[in-house]
Structure 1
Amino acid sequence: MPKFYLRGFADGDTLLTVPLPGERRYKQSVNSAAVETDFYALPGHDGGDDVLERALAEVEAPTAAIIAQIASGVWPLPSADRQALAFFIALQSTRTQTQRRTVDSLEAQLARLQIGVGGRELFTQQLQRADPQVTNDTVDRMWAEAIRPEGPPLRVSSIEFADQMLSSATQILPYILGRPWTLVRFDRRSLVTSDHPVSLVTPADASPWEGVGYATAAGIIMPLTRELGLVMGDPMVFAEHISVDRVAAGELDMTLPLGSTQMERFFNEHTVGFASKWLFLHPKDGRFLPEDLPEPNPTRMEMGSQAREFNGEPWGRASAGGRDDSVPARSIIRTHVRLEMP
């Protein structure tokens, strides 16, 4: 999480951090909150290991200035500033620890599915081809890891995550820009934020089994500071009357100068609902947290194969009697998964 962003919810440099499900609370510096060492490091990159971190800093610096301008009363935003803020919001959807865990989880579950299709004998054969000295104990251990509900212990490489992060942010950007924006200013109420600060509003007519994405959400919301909330509304309301280009240019953007209690709860309940592990807020704002906080939600997406039976028999055509590299057991070593965010 960018330090400048967290300062918008801090008392100086001090935040109140609430790990879900909220059984404890403690103060910490914005320099320590939501930090993972070398999270963006790209070892061996021609531009240096910190090339991605420096690129993100080039996005953060102008965004900090834009949010400061909004706080001083500037709204609607000039088109260039609106686009810059939209890209920052898109990145805050894809650059988080939550997103990294989600990508890793989907990769592991896909590998589990592929291994199950091939069956244990094919899995063993392919491990033996990769390493003729592999022992039966190693095969047993790797098979046990592969068929766990969460899949084998895989993690995408740093460069793969960087590529996924940037491409997904670019992919969802039109769904952020093409919505009418409403800025809500709070005076007596305050907003909280989280380790996944961008939230999606489910359409009122959505069925319980339906998911919601950036293209289908009734709204996208993000607290900009404890006193400023941004609602990116439903573009379909105006679809027959105004072009998406005009919406993206900010012609329909507006402001609510005095956020109500109902609006504060709307923001904070969505922010809490989309949090992964941590909430961050001003040390004096604990009363604005919802009474019931959810359990941690480490990932935002999963595959539906966890319940499939793994008895060692192949699910498909692949078997020990014939090589079938369309379902390679070596995917336990590497599988690439790209999230389709919209």
Structure 2
Amino acid sequence: MAGKGNTAKLHHYVPQGYLRGFATEKGRVTAVPLDRSRKPFTSSVKNVAAQTHFHTLEELEEPDEFEKALSGVEGEALNVLGKFERNEFPLSEADRWAFSYYMALQSVRGPDTRKTMEHLRAQFLRLEIGAGGRKNVGSWIKKNLGFDSSPEQEELLWAEATQPGGPPISFSNLSHIQHMLDTAESLTPYLATRPWSLVRFQRRSLVTSDAPVSLIRNPQDEAWAGVGFMTALGIAFPLTRKIGLLMSDPTVMLEGLEPDNPRVQETRSAVLRGEFDRIQTGTTAMEKLFNEHSAHSAREYVFHHPEDEMFVPDELPEPNLINMRASGLVDADFDGKPWFGVSDTQETKHEESEHA
């Protein structure tokens, strides 16, 4: 067993094997930063979509054990990707589930997932502590952190917790990994149970991003409404620069049926067997559908083959590592008074007066 001295340091949140599908034979890929102050650059797939020690678990004998486990999942996915390239489609049900899990994992393994978790936790802590009132900070520390605090510690926590954005929060690698695995497992069925279309391009090409699984909103939905894996009209995943996977809405086949109708389960089984899957010839409209959604879902970078610059959409979003934001009460200002009931200090004084 390898010791800590042999730990891999640079961990990819977009697999190198996947990015090679958009790279030259020598593994060179062009990265387009969403930060307009930076220019596009071409580099090895080894040097992009990666962070140092992103998955390192120092508490384990092999700190990069999870990174190695990811490599195993990615290896299986690359085998399936080879079947796509050879037109071995539809897939077996086992391969379909395995590749769906890979896509679900890819949709939640980036730094944006961790940043979003930290943002939401900070916002809700801000609300919890702020609404509890300044005088109750000590009891909050005792209940949640397990120690008797000093006035200085209470003042520091109050100041940090009630500042805009909430207190500084940093999730551990272990917390991030546990959340990633749980979320990927829950999302997998929403990918596997959609009809799949394998779209092959000849003259046109696809780009990808650091968040390559993109959700296609139903145009009939209200503009303010969110879109998720369950409600999306479609889900797009560029497999290589010449092949895309489009997962369509299965509910159109079940319109008017109750969930307990036998046809619902029959249709689900047929979808998993690939009976509704098909291979399509890529068109200009389909290329734009994939590329515009790939660009829109990007967090910091769009990636493409060095010869495919013309297929990068003109309008790119601003960089954004927080894909879900809390609003409403969490944005309120706090004056130190508790929002609900009386403070613990007041309750204590009341009890003392009753015993006197």
Structures share a fold, TM > 0.5? yes
1:109 aligns with 2:123: yes
Structure 2 spans left out of the alignment, 5+ residues: 1-13, 258-262, 349-356
Task: Say whether residues 1:246 and 2:278 are aligned partners.
Answer: no
Q: Distance in 1 between matches of 2:330 and 2:294?
A: 28
> Residue in 1 aligned with 2:204?
189
C-alpha distance in structure 2 between counterparts of 1:14 and 1:135, whole Å: 57
Letter in 2 for 1:281: H
* Deviation of 1:157 (Å): 2.2
How many Å apart are 1:144 and its aligned residue? 3.0
Deviation string 1:163-185 (CA, Å, 9 cap, x unpaired) is 11111111011111110000111
Report if the CA contact (8 A) 1:122-1:318 is conserved.
no
> 3-state SS of the aligned residue for 2:318?
coil
Q: Which residue number corresponds to residue 16 of structure 1?
A: 30
Question: Per-residue deviation at 1:307?
Answer: 2.5
Number of equivalent positions: 321
**Residue 168 (structure 2) aligned to one of 141, 153, 171:** 153
2:214 matches 1:206: no
Specify which structure has the higher proportion of helix.
Answer: 2
2:15 is aligned to: 2
- SS of equivalent to 2:175: helix
Segments of structure 1 that go 5 or more residues without pairing to the other structure are 325-342
Q: 2:337 aligns with which of 288, 313, 319?
A: 313
Query: Cα gap change, 1:133/1:85 in structure 2, threshold over 3 Å: closer, same or farther?
Result: closer
Percent of residue pairs bearing the same amino acid type = 39
In structure 2, relative to structure 1, the CA distance for the partners of 1:323 and 1:228 (3 Å cut) is farther
CA distance in 2, matches of 1:248, 1:128: 51
Please state if 1:98 is matched with 2:112: yes
Matched residue, 1:330: none
Does the CA-based 8 Å contact 2:131-2:334 persist in structure 1?
no
Instruction: Using the TM superposition, give the Cα deviation of residue 311 of structure 1 relative to its aligned residue in structure 2, in angstroms.
Output: 2.1
The 8 Å contact of residues 29 and 303 in structure 2, kept in 1 or not, is answered as yes
Aligned to 1:272, what secondary structure does the other structure show? helix
The TM-score normalised by the length of structure 2 is: 0.84
Deviation of 1:161 after TM superposition, in Å, equals: 1.6
Runs of 4+ in 1 over 6 A off after TM superposition: none
- 1:160 and 1:322 map into 2 onto residues whose CA distance is 37
What is the TM-score normalised by the length of structure 1? Answer: 0.87
Q: Deviations over 1:12-63 (max 9, x none)?
A: 3111111114442111211110111111122213x63222112211111011
CA distance in structure 1 between the partners assigned to 2:88 and 2:79 by the alignment: 11
How far 1:66 sits from its partner (Å)?
1.3
SS in structure 1 of the partner of residue 194 of structure 2:
coil
Cα gap change, 1:146/1:33 in structure 2, threshold over 3 Å: closer, same or farther?
A: same
The question of 1:174 aligning with 2:197 is answered: no
SS at match of 2:191: helix
Distance in 2 between residues matched to 1:17 and 1:53, nearest whole Å: 23
Q: Does structure 2 conserve the Cα–Cα contact (< 8 Å) formed by 1:21 and 1:293?
A: no
Whole-angstrom distance in 2 between the partners of 1:323 and 1:290: 61
Q: Which has the larger radius of gyration?
A: 2
- Asked if the contact 1:20/1:293 (under 8 Å) is kept, the reply is yes
* Counterpart position of 1:329: none
> Secondary structure at 2:57's aligned position in 1?
coil
State how 1:25-36 maps to structure 2 within 5 Å.
25-36=40-51
Is the contact made by 2:141 and 2:149 (CA closer than 8 Å) also made in structure 1? no
Equivalent in 293, 301, 307 of residue 316 of structure 2: 293
Report what 1:262 is aligned to.
285
Matching of residues 52-67 of structure 1 within 5 Å: 52-67=66-81
After superposition, the Cα gap between the structure-2 partners of 1:306 and 1:295, relative to the gap in structure 1 and judged at 3 Å, is: farther
Paired amino acid for 2:290 = F
Given the superposition, is the C-alpha separation of residues 135 and 53 from structure 1 closer, same or farther in structure 2, using an over 3 Å criterion? Answer: same
Q: Does 1:278 align with 2:270?
A: no
1:54-97 alpha-carbon deviations (Å, 9 max, x no partner)? 22111110111211221122222222221111110010111111
Aligned counterpart, 1:216: 231
* Pairwise CA RMSD: 2.2
Are the equivalent residues in 1 in contact too, given 2:138–2:149 (CA < 8 A)? no
